[in-house]
Amino acid sequence: MNYKTYLSLAIIAIAVIISVYLWNSNSQSKISIASEKQLYTCGMHPEIISEEPGNCPVCGMKLVPKNKSDSAINGERKILYWRAPMDPNEIYDKPGKSKMGMDLVPVYDDNIEAGSIVQIDGVIQQNMNVKISSVEEKELSGEIFTNGVLTTDERNEYIVTTKVNGWIEKLYVNYTGQKITKGQKLVDIYSPELVSAQQELLTALDYQNSTNLMEDSEISNSGNQLVKNTIQKLLLLDISKSKIDEIIRTKEIEKYLTLYAPTNGTVLLKNVIEGEKIIAGKQLLHIADLSNLWLKADIYESELSKVSIGSSAKINFTYLPEKTYSGIVDFIYPTVDPQTRVVQLRMNIKNINGELKPEMFANVQIKGNSFGIYPVVSESSIIRSGKHNVVILSFGEGKFKPVEVRLGAYSNGFYQILSGLNAGDKIVSSAQFMIDSESSLKAAVNAYAAEVNDVKSKANIGKVESNVNSKVEQEHGESIIREGIINVIEIDKNKDGKVFQDMMDWNVISDKDGKCILCNMNLKEVTIDEAKKNLQEHGYDYK
């Protein structure tokens, strides 16, 4: 091969290398341009994506630039795991199909770095009224502030009644609220039944005297037994032993039965008047000793661990704001009210001067147990989602991320954070629901951004979905969005043991095949047990 041939081959080789290099450079340039192309989105409706700046077709707000991840631009991406395209919580370690039969999508390391971070423009933050606060580390107060109501001491209440029929001959109590003392006469009752019982006693005594002279012991004993029986009858009719002894001694019958006050107290109810005919068992008077009252206060079951028998309390009444009473918790009722989910406590309150009245309302401050020093957040910062509690973490510069936290004790509007946050972390204390909603839509936004659909087409989706949803509701004849306690068996109207359930909105269940009213996805056929399991895993109540 001569020199010219070698030279020709060398020139051809160099030309090929240069061509390949230029082609690669051009391709990389195109890829770089494509990857770096700026997209625009709406801060309030992140599903709206545009290649050009403008206004949101839904709310009219100005579109803002959509940030890209650095690792995606550099092209160095590592797959960490695979997940369902419509449910970020459905995770797998290799590619395959989701529960809905859709192809799994990869999650790269740069996705994890961003996590579910949402970036919101400063102007939009102002419109959303986003407020940031710091997680404080402090000891939650064990104090409980609640309301209470005064009641009578059940141990010092009694009802005045009688065991015989008769008439009210004399009433010594003239009005409700009258104070009485122990041993005071309350009422005189005339009862033919009582007069007859006394006459029986006198007759029995005469018979006893006549039989005692007889030598027959059996007859003598019968007289003694008859007297015992008649005395016992009078005792059962509330005739005192001293009064019976007086009848035996004087041989005179008491025409009236007098009832006496067993203790000091106040008449709460006067249920009879003079001359009235009464029957055995009728409530005549209701009397209570008001020198000691009960204060009953309600606390939530979540606060129950703070209180124990012996816990002290400060009590104030509206009509005596300058005076503070002291109380001790002496009883915790053993049941929880099924409607209000509260537990009742009881305290004794001395009412020496009678200034307190039953049924008065009170402000109660109970000194409870302490729980140690932990990070705490306000109740308004927490988003409750099924079985999960979420707080929106702020990274500054408009970046936010929802994080799950484990809650501890609650006190006066604050929760302990057992895990998920540290002292000093910045969190959102208002508008967190809007940010969390935007974060939940992020996966759908990214998938949509990859296709770079036209903004106008996207804006028309809502109209199409509305038409489809109306059609689905008409076909089913009822709403398939289930609320409250979901009765899965009742939904299965054809009793084949299967229903159709949405794999994203789990409370959308039907007995017929169709589409989800909320997301327009095809419902998946599942068994009754599978539907119940899905509801349980996602925090819905069912039966």
Q: Please, are residues 50 and 40 in contact by the beta-carbon 8 Å criterion?
A: yes
Q: What is the pLDDT of residue 81?
A: 64
Q: Please, are residues 373 and 136 in contact by the beta-carbon 8 Å criterion?
A: no
Mean pLDDT, all residues of the chain:
77
Instruction: Mean pLDDT check: name the lowest of 131-140, 156-165, 420-429, 459-468.
Output: 459-468
What does 65-105 look like in DSSP terms, one character per residue? Answer: EEP--HHHHHT---EEEEE-SS-TT-EESS--B-TTSPBPE
As a whole number of angstroms, the distance between CA 459 and CA 49 comes to 10
* Mean pLDDT computed over 519-525: 80
Question: 229-232: long-range contacts at Cβ-Cβ below 8 A with a sequence spacing of 24 or more?
Answer: 229/204, 230/197, 230/200, 230/201, 230/204, 231/201
424: left (phi over 0), alpha (psi -120 to 50) or beta: left
Q: Please, are residues 239 and 246 in contact by the beta-carbon 8 Å criterion?
A: no
Instruction: Please name the residue that has the structure tokens 């100005």.
Output: 62
As a whole number of angstroms, the distance between CA 271 and CA 410 comes to 48
Neighbouring C-beta atoms of residue 84, cutoff 10 Å: 21
Most confidently modeled of 13-22, 102-111, 233-242, 263-272?
A: 263-272
* Mean pLDDT computed over 115-121: 67
Q: Please, are residues 403 and 397 in contact by the beta-carbon 8 Å criterion?
A: no
* Mean pLDDT computed over 430-438: 53
Q: What is the pLDDT of residue 87?
A: 63
What counts of helices (H) and strands (E) characterise the chain?
13, 33
Q: Which residue has the higher pLDDT, 542 or 435?
A: 542
As a whole number of angstroms, the distance between CA 143 and CA 303 comes to 10
pLDDT, tens digit, 9 for 90 and up, residues 293-314? 999 999 988 788 889 899 999 9
Q: What is the pLDDT of residue 58?
A: 63
* Mean pLDDT computed over 200-226: 78
Report which DSSP code applies to 311: -
Q: Which tokens sit at 447?
A: 């998938």
Q: Coil, strand, or helix at residue 118? A: strand
**Domains of the chain in sequence order:** 144-153+289-366 (2.40.30.170), 162-283 (no CATH), 460-537 (no CATH)
Torsion on CA atoms 369, 373, 375, 379, rounded to nearest 10 = 20
Q: What is the pLDDT of residue 37?
A: 64
Instruction: Mean pLDDT check: name the lowest of 60-74, 356-370, 417-431, 438-452.
Output: 438-452
Give the contacts of 70 (CB within 8 A, at least 6 positions apart): 110
Q: Which residue has the higher pLDDT, 523 or 286?
A: 286
Q: Please, are residues 39 and 452 in contact by the beta-carbon 8 Å criterion?
A: yes
pLDDT of residue 152 exceeding 90: yes
Instruction: Mean pLDDT check: name the lowest of 109-113, 506-510, 517-521.
Output: 109-113
pLDDT, tens digit, 9 for 90 and up, residues 29-84? 443 434 456 777 776 556 577 778 888 776 666 777 765 544 444 555 667 567 77
pLDDT of residue 388 exceeding 60: yes
pLDDT of residue 246 exceeding 70: yes
pLDDT of residue 94 exceeding 60: yes
- What confidence tier does 289 reach under pLDDT thresholds 50, 70, 90? very high
Neighbouring C-beta atoms of residue 499, cutoff 10 Å: 25
pTM of the full predicted structure?
Answer: 0.50
Provide the strand spans (E) within 412-472: 414-419, 426-430
As a whole number of angstroms, the distance between CA 417 and CA 374 comes to 7
Q: What is the pLDDT of residue 21?
A: 39
As a whole number of angstroms, the distance between CA 286 and CA 270 comes to 7
pLDDT of residue 502 exceeding 80: yes
Q: What is the pLDDT of residue 297?
A: 95
* Mean pLDDT computed over 493-514: 87
- What confidence tier does 460 reach under pLDDT thresholds 50, 70, 90? very low
pLDDT of residue 251 exceeding 50: yes
Q: Which residue has the higher pLDDT, 241 or 476?
A: 241
Q: Coil, strand, or helix at residue 145? A: strand
pLDDT, tens digit, 9 for 90 and up, residues 310-326? 999 999 998 888 899 99
Q: Please, are residues 304 and 335 in contact by the beta-carbon 8 Å criterion?
A: no
Quote the percentage of the chain above a pLDDT of 90: 24
pLDDT of residue 457 exceeding 60: no
Q: What is the pLDDT of residue 3?
A: 43
Q: Which residue has the higher pLDDT, 517 or 264?
A: 264
Instruction: Please name the residue that has the structure tokens 């122990």.
Output: 182
Q: Beta partners for 325?
A: 315
As a whole number of angstroms, the distance between CA 450 and CA 48 comes to 13
How many residues are recorded in the chain?
Answer: 543
Q: What is the pLDDT of residue 127?
A: 72
Q: What is the pLDDT of residue 515?
A: 84
Q: Which residue has the higher pLDDT, 124 or 483?
A: 483
Q: Coil, strand, or helix at residue 125? A: helix
Residue 13 CA, chain-centre distance (Å), reads: 79
Q: Coil, strand, or helix at residue 141? A: coil
